[in-house]
Structure 1
Amino acid sequence: MSIFSKIISGELPAYKITEDEHYLAFLDINPNAKGHTLCIPKKEVDKIFDLDSDEYIGLMKFSRRVAKALEKAVPCKRVGMAVIGLEVPHAHVHLIPLNHMDEMRFEQKVKLQPEEFEKIVHDIREKLLL
């Protein structure tokens, strides 16, 4: 069982932003930038291209909705998207608020306090309602 499946089941805590029957969005606890969000299918599938077409399109639509809210909630030039998939064997999309190209390199991380994570979750959720 992947760490993401443990988050979905509630075994592990996460800064959850939104979810529906099939997908979940939560903040990355080791973010490249403030607001770095992960969107995952609730069904555990290792590689993103192993999702069936409907699941893949559903994940992209879900990620787009979250990215639009993220862009309104966290000041940035744009929201970058990456699918790497080497660190956790569960398909996931990284949504990263970008002001500099270095924020997409997964080399420099931002340290945030729990209250900062909570505020970001609140701000993104507010924008999802619009």
Structure 2
Amino acid sequence: MASIFTKIVNGEIPCYKVAEDQNYLAFLDVNPNVKGHVLCIPKQEIDKLFDMEDELYIGLMKFSKKIAIALEKTVPCKRIGMTVIGLEVPHAHVHLIPLNIMDDARFHNKVKLTPEEFQDLANAIAKNL
């Protein structure tokens, strides 16, 4: 059965897309730690990050770096944190999280945004690519 991320890649579930190329997709986390929390995924469904072939893995890191640079230009923060964590979705993914304090990286506090705020933010990050 396809993961929720594969369904997003296939257009079966909508997302707030930040960027996309042939192999990767970046979109806003709809349950974000902080404003600007982005997920970067390979389009190919692979459960674990370290099960990815080297070329695809390195490509994901390069793609994530590009997104992180645009994200830092868009969302005021001290730095962009990157983490690979989560057991809920069996599809490799990287979290890019704007950090001002260490608690921003913890997955216990969440922020709420309206659909309009999500879309405006996705568009703003995309403009900084």
Name the structure 1 match of 2:32: 31
In the superposition, the TM-score normalised over structure 2's length comes to: 0.98
Gaps of 5+ in 1: none
Name the CA distance, whole Å, in 2 between partners of 1:99 and 1:111. Answer: 18
Give the whole-Å Cα distance in 2 for the aligned partners of 1:72 and 1:101.
20
Query: Structure 2: which 5+ runs fail to align?
Result: none
Q: Does 1:104 align with 2:83?
A: no
Give the match's secondary structure for 1:86. Answer: coil
The aligned counterpart of 1:40 is 41
Task: Tell me the CA shift for residue 85 of structure 1.
Answer: 3.4
Taking every aligned residue pair, what percent have the same amino acid on both sides? 66
Across the aligned residues of Structure 1 and Structure 2, the Cα RMSD in angstroms comes to 0.6
Runs of 4+ with deviation above 4 angstroms: none
CA contact (8 A) 1:85 1:91 kept: no
Aligned match of 2:123: 122
Alpha-carbon separation, structure 2, partners of 1:74 and 1:105: 18
Q: Distance in 1 between matches of 2:103 and 2:88?
A: 19
* 2:50 matches 1:49: yes
Aligned equivalents of 1:69 and 1:125: distance in 2? 7
Secondary structure, in 3 states, of the residue corresponding to 1:7?
Answer: helix
| TM-score of the aligned structures, taking structure 1 as reference length | 0.97
Distance 1:85 1:113 in 2: 24
The answer for the alignment partner of 2:16 in structure 1 is 15
Letter in 1 for 2:4: I
